Structure 1
Amino acid sequence: MHFDPILPAVVGTTLIGLLLSLLFRQFKLPLVLAYILTGLIVGPQCLSLINDIDVIETMGSLGVILLLFFIGMEVSPDKLRRSWRVSITSTGLQIILCVACVYLVGSLLDWSLQRIVLLGFVLSLSSTAVVLKLMQDNNELHSEQGQHVLGILLVQDLAVIPMVIVIGIMDETGVQSDVIAMQVGAGIGVLILVRWLLNQEYVEFRWLNKLKVNHELQVFGALLCCFGLALVSGLMHLSTALGAFVGGMLVAKMKDSLWIRSSLEAFHVVFIALFFMSIGMLLNVHFIVQNSTLLASLLFLVLVGNTLIATVTLRLLKISWAKSLYAAAMLAQVGEFSFILATLGRQSKLISDYGYHVTVAVIALSLFASPFWVALARKVLPAPCVPIAEDDNK
């Protein structure tokens, strides 16, 4: 009897993911690590159950969109409004300091200014998906640090726009002026829409209320709410995850919108797991083993360096040392958008093929190491995160 050849891959991946998740949960380790390790095992480096990484990356990107959509529905408008000054200032200082630190290293290694700027940009971005998943798992999203970190991640998403423009200017082919104008205009539009949402008590879409009579209609209506603004954001050459976050904020302002969250919960679990599996598939075991000493040294420098830089920037904004250090530990890893910047740098000949592979390996390893780094900070620091709910009850 004929059966679809994709079934062994689906069953094998699901089984391995389930077993590793149970094992990691038994030892109270983040499930993010189980997903990444599953991707490494089932990917082309080990069992080769899945060889088409592009498909998994595409499905994983949907998981990031869903994650940001859910975060948008949970965000506290008042807390987010109060944290914008910290978010913008801290992000700007982190980018400047990262470029400055890479300049100190690059000047010793005789790097070009273009390579220094590119690598500084790459290291200054954190992983929205990893950090928000960790905060959700630890119930820290609504803490003071959680709100600051969320704001910083959103500003970093917007900062990718000028970074891409700068990389394009450093490339001999230059950049497209119409794309730049669209990105800048769309970025301003997003800020205006967010500002408007923060000032609204509620918004109402009567056509959505008609979908509550049928569960199937609810599912498709919820998917439209989630991916609609993500699509618009992507068409404007902005981050689709940023558009999904704004869509989540819009839904949160609607009356009786809990059915949207319940309709998408299962999609959220599956696709966010696929995103982290795609990270595991990017880990080239052979390359890592061959360059283990170099990669281990770079990973340590990246985690420590990013933590120190973020701590200093947050401390300059009058946040306590303990809270600054914990928030900085969350932001220490290198983000998924850095993959895009590294690819642009390779295409523009700003880094060599070997430098590109080293950069990708460090990014992927930092994502894998991030939960351990955050767990270490939680153990070292005294009660680093206090939930907002507890603050309100005092």
Structure 2
Amino acid sequence: MIGAIHIDPVLSNFVILSMVIITVGIVLRLFKQPSMVTYIVVGIMVGPYGFAVVTDEILITNLGSLGLVLLLFFIGMEIHLPNLITNWRISVFGTIIQIILSILIVWLLGQYFNWELNQVVMLGFVISLSSTAVIVKLLQERNEMQTKAGQNVLGVLLVQDLLIVPMIIILGYMGGDRPSISEVLNQIVGGIFIVGIIIYILKKKKIKLPFIGYLRKDHEIQVFVAFALCFGFSILTALLGLSSALGAFVAGIILGSTKSTKWVHDSLHAFKIMFVALFFVSVGMLIDLKFLQENAITISALVLMVFIVNYVINVLIMRLFRNSWKISMYAGALLSQIGEFSFILGATGYYAGIIKNYDYQLIISIIALTLLISPFWISLTKKISRLI
């Protein structure tokens, strides 16, 4: 009697995903669509609201979160810290102005729908965050990371990532969940730690890692060293009450300051592609096609409103800080979608009782759709800005 053959479900999920990504990717490449759109479309197809081919959503989501960490790690390596610090006014004041204006616009809208203050603040926070994953992916594909628009946008994204923790704390207070003194102290220590590292790098200008000569010769050790740096800093900042992605970004900056990052790119680039793809696949899995169909008019109107509001706000902010219309319009287009960290804010508001289940599903749908549509929106506004 021949025993039953056991197939690992995780392995089969990865094979199925890979095959679907290859097929859909080839088709969408014919229409010159970025790889990010491919991954989201694949997520819709294989997810629970599509053909339900991949059933282990938690695994894909968790691996996707690793992709976000790796993405921030690679961004940190490509950042030119002095340039980023030079534009600190746009990054800091621009982001704060953007959040205030977003809350104000939501408040005006809330007067019609009779929204409470905590709902207004939460929705203002949600729409004010842009997507690091989408923007960086597009900037890398277009070789625009070091352009003025790219540097301005990256600075804004960094400050937005820093402000996620205070946003979560504020929403917790509004929902009746108050953090302990130890948690607040942890976050203060974490903030001081990150600022201290940045000041040290700025003073030193170039850091020399121990055993760097040996690392260049041993490819296997390079992989583990790169992983330890990236995820080690992620765990450290998470323990300090900050974003784990922020820790990876700081680790990337440290490595970037050593001026010898080629071995890291060689070691982790394949992992980054795989995990970032899984992140966007997990976003696609959140899109409930039936919910979209039932609420098509409402969702379409809100998605359009989000793009227009975020676009106008960010263009005006870039102009306020004396950028040209061309740069301002392009930066505004890049920052006009809702970011992946807004999923966390939406979940925080839902579990704190600030919003109901219908509102939470609405937020998830709108965030996911803005991520999907973002490349089309950016291309469209870029063409319009060229005509103008």
Q: What's the CA shift for 1:208?
A: 4.4
Using the TM superposition, give the Cα deviation of residue 351 of structure 1 relative to its aligned residue in structure 2, in angstroms. 0.8
- Tell me the residue number matched to 1:376: 380
Kindly tell me: are residues 14 and 223 of structure 1, through their superposed partners in 2, closer, same or farther at Cα, counting changes over 3 Å?
A: same
Tell me if the contact between 2:329 and 2:382 (Cα under 8 Å) persists in the aligned partners.
Answer: no
1:322, distance to aligned residue in structure 2 (A): 2.1
- Give the Cα–Cα distance (whole angstroms) in 2 for the partners of residues 58 and 209 of structure 1: 35
Q: Percent identity?
A: 40
Q: Report whether the alignment pairs 1:159 with 2:166.
A: no
* Alignment partner, residue 42 of structure 1: 46
Cα offset, 1:179, TM superposition: 1.2
2: CA distance between counterparts of 1:259 and 1:269?
16
Letter in 2 for 1:103: W
Which residue is 2:295 aligned to?
A: 291
Structure 2: state its 5+ residue gaps.
Answer: none
Residue of structure 1 aligned with 2:180, choices 163, 176, 179? 176
The question of 1:317 aligning with 2:326 is answered no
Query: In the alignment, which residue of structure 1 is the partner of 2:340?
Result: 336
**What TM-score do you get using the length of structure 1 for normalisation?**
0.94
Q: Deviations over 1:151-204 (max 9, x none)?
A: 000000111122112112212232222212211221232122123213322111
Cα deviation, residue 117, structure 1: 0.7
Asked whether 1:365 is paired with 2:369, we answer: yes
Q: Any unmatched runs of 5+ in structure 1?
A: 385-394
**1:84-233 to 2 correspondences below 5 Å:** 84-233=88-237
Cross-structure match for 1:72: 76
Distance 1:268 1:209 in 2: 25
How far has the Cα of 1:7 moved from its partner? 3.7
1:271, distance to aligned residue in structure 2 (A): 0.5
1:12 aligns with 2:39: no
State the AA in 2 paired with 1:206. Answer: P
- For 1:67 and 1:198, how far apart are their aligned partners in 2? 23
Instruction: For 2:231, give the aligned amino acid.
Output: F
User: How far does the alpha carbon of each residue in 1:326-363 deviate from its partner, in whole angstroms, 9 at most, with x for none?
Assistant: 10111111111111111111111111111111111111
Q: CA separation in 2, counterparts of 1:175 and 1:279?
A: 29
TM alignment of 1:208-287, pairs within 5 A: 208-287=212-291
Any idea what SS the aligned residue of 2:87 has? helix
User: Match for 1:280: what amino acid?
Assistant: G
Q: Work out the CA distance in 2 between the residues paired with 1:75 and 1:42.
A: 35
Question: Shift of residue 255 of structure 1?
Answer: 4.8
TM normalised by structure 2 equals 0.95
* Cα distance change of structure 1 residues 154 and 196 upon mapping to structure 2, 3 Å threshold: same
Map Cα deviations across residues 131-165 of structure 1 (whole Å, 9 max, x no partner). Answer: 11111111111110100000000000111122112
User: What is the aligned residue count?
Assistant: 384
RMSD: 1.5
* Superposed displacement of residue 280, structure 1: 0.3
For residue 359 of structure 1, what is the amino acid of its counterpart? I
Deviations 1:87-125 (A, max 9, x none): 101100000000000000111211111111111111111
Residue of structure 2 equivalent to 1:83:
87
Corresponding residue to 2:33 among 1, 4, 29: 29
Shift of 1:211: 3.0
Question: Which segment is superposed worse, 3-12 or 132-141?
Answer: 3-12
CA distance in 2, matches of 1:4, 1:336: 30
Secondary structure class of the residue paired with 2:216? helix
Q: Does 1:54 align with 2:58?
A: yes
* Equivalence for 1:346: 350
Q: Is the 8 A contact 1:165 1:180 kept in 2?
A: no
